[in-house]
């Protein structure tokens, strides 16, 4: 028998712990797995040999169910980039040494693009060096929904549900006044506009909010933006706008780039924020009406009180499938979703090749964005709607949601 190890990296989400719960479910049920360990803070936890015994900590279904509806990252996370093994083989050798020392034959890593890069490099290293006693699998996670080879990503559905709800409630606030106003809501999305597009799910109950949507897949033109706002104000007093934090101008520069920090993470990604505030100033200058900006920021990642039941069920199943596949001998792949139909909504789980996923960003297809670049097409709504369906029963304690906490952290 071998031990199983699971870790997570990248940004937290409302569903990543459901994936971890699925891995634990599968590990406990397998007669090929002795223990299920968790590495604290991702691949750094592996290198530091910082493990916890999850089949002891989560030894009941009740505990794993609570873990599954707990937002963020119960095992902690990291943004640690493994270098090319040809440049830094020592790091890979150390990981293999530690896994073998702890009799770990199955390693499941959950995360987004950069995390799948880690899984791909590690599994490719094992294949190249004839290491077949350790199976390495990826399980998807990213609210950005930009992983290739899967219809959608765990965490995105719950984040989309929160965003749609936020826009609905922002609309309730804005429409109480009879003076012209513009509210600009900045939504996460560096290079893919899936989250911003989900704001359109708020268009129910008779109100069309947001009236304007700008995704980062289309070139953003400031002059065109002002004309769009002026035209919208001719029809309604209160305008709500959704804009991706990563919109760029025709030269490829982030709009309002001079207002950003310019700092980058370990993977070379710029830290973005400020587009809402920048456009607020532009509207104030060019139009002069009442204007304000709202930055949802990290709230959209881990709203555990706004979980999509579809998201949590799929996330848990994807974790379990990655674990089961590793035990069956698969390695260097990621569990993934294939959509069978929208109505009724049906998906199936399979395996995807990591060489087609690592460091690839799946963007919103241009045919799902209107020609003017200020709204989305119906086909995108059809894609989004099933992903936010269903509500999860959240346990409460002293009036606030109860969370699963690993004390060792």
Catalytic residues: 144
Beta bridge partners of 391: 308
DSSP conformation class of 327: H
Cα separations in angstroms, 342 against 78, 151, 381, 404: 35, 12, 11, 33
Taking the CA of residue 258 as centre, how many other CA atoms within 13 Å lie in the half-sphere pointing to its CB?
2
- Is the Cα torsion angle 172, 173, 178, 181 positive or negative in sign? negative
Say if CB 259 and CB 202 are below 8 A apart: no
Helix (H) or strand (E) holding 383: helix 378-384
Residues 6+ apart with CB under 8 A from 241: 182, 183, 184, 185, 210, 211, 212, 213, 214, 229, 279
Q: Which two tokens stand for residue 401?
A: 């949601």
Please list the alpha-helical segments (H only) found in 138-189.
Answer: 156-174
Taking the CA of residue 264 as centre, how many other CA atoms within 13 Å lie in the half-sphere pointing to its CB?
5
């Amino acid at each position: 028998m071998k031990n199983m190890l699971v870790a997570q990296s990248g940004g937290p989400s409302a569903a990543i712990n459901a994936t971890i719960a699925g891995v634990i479910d599968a590990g406990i049920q397998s007669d090929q797995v002795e223990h299920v360990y968790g590495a604290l803070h991702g691949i750094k936890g592996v290198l530091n040999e910082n493990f916890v015994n999850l089949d002891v900590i989560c030894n009941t279904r009740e505990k794993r169910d609570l873990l599954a509806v707990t937002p963020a990252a119960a095992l902690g996370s990291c943004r640690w980039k493994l270098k090319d093994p040809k440049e830094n083989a020592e790091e890979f050798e150390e990981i293999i040494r530690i896994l073998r020392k702890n009799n770990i034959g199955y390693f499941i890593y959950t995360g987004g693009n950069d995390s799948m890069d880690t899984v791909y490099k590690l599994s490719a290293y094992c294949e190249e060096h004839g290491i077949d006693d350790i199976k390495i699998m990826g399980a998807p996670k990213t609210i950005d929904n930009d992983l290739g080879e899967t219809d959608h990503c765990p965490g995105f559905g719950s984040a989309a549900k929160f965003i749609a709800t936020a826009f609905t409630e922002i609309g309730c606030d804005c429409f109480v006044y009879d003076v012209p106003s513009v509210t600009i809501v900045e939504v996460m999305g560096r290079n893919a506009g899936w989250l911003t597009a989900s704001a359109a799910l708020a268009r129910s109950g008779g109100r069309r909010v947001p009236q304007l949507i700008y995704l980062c897949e289309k070139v953003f033109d400031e002059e065109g933006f002002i004309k769009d706002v002026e035209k919208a104000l001719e029809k309604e007093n209160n305008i709500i706008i959704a804009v991706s934090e990563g919109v760029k101008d025709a030269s490829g520069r982030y709009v309002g780039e001079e207002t950003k920090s310019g700092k980058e993470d370990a993977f070379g990604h710029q830290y973005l924020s400020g587009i809402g505030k920048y456009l607020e100033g532009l509207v104030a200058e060019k139009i002069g009406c009442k204007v304000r900006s709202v930055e949802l920021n990290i709230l959209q990642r881990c709203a555990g009180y706004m979980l999509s039941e579809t998201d949590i069920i799929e996330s848990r199943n994807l974790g379990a499938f990655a674990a089961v596949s590793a035990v069956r001998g698969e390695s260097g792949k990621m569990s993934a979703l294939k959509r069978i139909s929208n109505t009724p909504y049906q998906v199936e789980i399979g395996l995807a090749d990591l060489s087609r996923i690592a460091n690839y960003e799946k963007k919103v297809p241009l045919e799902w964005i209107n020609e003017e670049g200020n709204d989305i097409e119906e086909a995108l709504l059809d894609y989004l709607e099933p992903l936010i369906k269903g509500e999860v029963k959240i346990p409460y304690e002293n009036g606030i949601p109860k969370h699963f906490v690993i004390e060792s952290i």
